[in-house]
A and B are shown apart, each in its own frame.
Chain A
C-alpha cells in the first residue's frame, strides 16, 4: 500500500434519528452507553446542526443530496399546491441526485436501511429499504424482491404506529422493542455476511419516536421512574457493541443524528395566531383541509414554523400584491418576535428569518416566505381550527435545530469537519465515491 492507494474507503454509518449530542454525553457520563463511550474516545464526537425546517424528512433529504431545500425542492412532510391541496412529497419529488443514485452509478456496493424520504424505493443495485413514510413493507419499499425476502426472514418492520403511543404507552414500548430488535438483527445479519460494503447505512427511527413520546420519562425528570427510556438506550448501546464486533473495529464507524431534542412545554398553533392577528380566515370545516381557507387571507402556516404569504401570482386564492409583500412580511415577522407565553412570559420565537436568509437554489420560489426557529419548549404547530394559541398535546419531546450529534471513527477524520447533517451526507459521498 503506497500513499493510501488501495486503502478501503468504506463507511459503516448509523443514523440515530433525533439523538441529541447532550443526551449522548449524559449517556456516556452515566455509563449507560459504554460502547458509545468507546467509540467517542477512539474517534471523535461533536455537536452539529440540523436544517430548517427542522424535521427528519427535510434533514435526511439534505443528507441524501448534500444540498439545501431550495435545491432539492422539499420543505417539509407536507406541502400545499397553488390551489391549497395538501400533498405529501416523497423520494420522486427530490430534484437533485441522491447518494444512492451516485453510489449505484459508481458501481459501489451499498446497503441503505430505513432512511426517511427513500420511498418509493429507487430500483438500484444495492440493498435498499425505504423508511418513514413508506406505508408498508412491499415491493415499492425495496430496491429488489430479494431484499424483501431477506427482510421478511428477519420480521423487519418499517416503523411503529405512532398512534398507539397515545392510546397505550405499554403497547408503544412493546412495539418499539419489537421493531428496533428486528431492525438491529437485520443490520447485523447484513454486516456479518461476506459482502464488502462500500457504504452501509442504517437509519434508526425508533430513537425519535421514543424521544417524542417518553422524553419526560427520562430519569431525574417528572414521571421518569419506570426507567424504560434509559433501558432502551442501554439496549441500543448493546447493538453498537455488536456492530463494532461485526465490522472488526471502530475506525470506520460513523454515528450521526439529524436534529436534537428538548422537552416540549407548549404546542404553539401558528394558524390560530395568524387568525387572531387577522391574516388568516377559514371556515370551520376540518374535512376540507386547507381548502377551507377563505378568500382575502394573507398568510398560512405549515409545520414546523413555515409561513407562506398568499401572494397573487403564487397561489390561486392569493391576494397579496408584489407591492404589499415586503411590508406585510416585515409586519408579520415583527409581530412573531413579540409572541410570549402569557404565564411564564417566555419568548416563543428564537429566530424569525426571511426565506432568502435560509434557502438558495432553483426552487426557492416554493419555499415558505418566513421561517421560525422556536425557543426550546415551544413546538410550532399549524392545525387549522385549533381553539387556542398555546395547547398541550400527547408528546413530551420536540425537535431542536441545535444539538444534533456526529461521531466519527479514527479512520473518518475527513468527515469530522462536518458542521451540519447536510455536510455529513456530502462528506460521506466524497469519501466513498
Chain B
C-alpha cells in the first residue's frame, strides 16, 4: 500500500518533470537557428557556378570541402577572400575543395567582385536563399568545414585569418 503510493507519486512527478524539462529545453533551443550541427552529414545542395557548371555538394565526397557563404557587400567577406584563394591554390591538389556561395546578389556584382579579387575557386549564387535557409545561416561570412565523408567538422562565423584558413584546410585534408 505504502509502496504503491510511492510508485504512483514518483511516476506522476516524473511525468510532470519531463514535461517541464522538455518545454524549457525547447524554449532554449528555439532561437538557435543553426540547423546543421557539427558531426552531422552536411545537407546536400545543387547550385550553378558563374561558368554555368552545376555543382552538387555530394559530388565532392572523398575530398574535404571548405564551404563559405558570403556577400560582396560584406567587408569581412571581402577581406578573407584573397586568403581563401591563396590557400585554395595550395590545397586544391591535396583534396580540399572550396565551394563559395554568394547570397542572393546579381551576377554582375558577383562577377565583378570575383574578377577584381582574381578568385579561382567555383562561385555560385544562392538566388532564393534556399541553401542559406537549409544551413540556417544568419550572419555572414559563415564557413562550414566538411570532411571527405560529407560530415560537418566545424562551423565558423566571422572573418578568417589566413593562418586559420590553413588550419581549417589541414583539418579536412583527406
A, B assembled together: no
| Interfacial residues, chain A to chain B (CB-CB below 8 A) | none
Could you tell me which B residues sit within 8 Å of A by CB distance? none
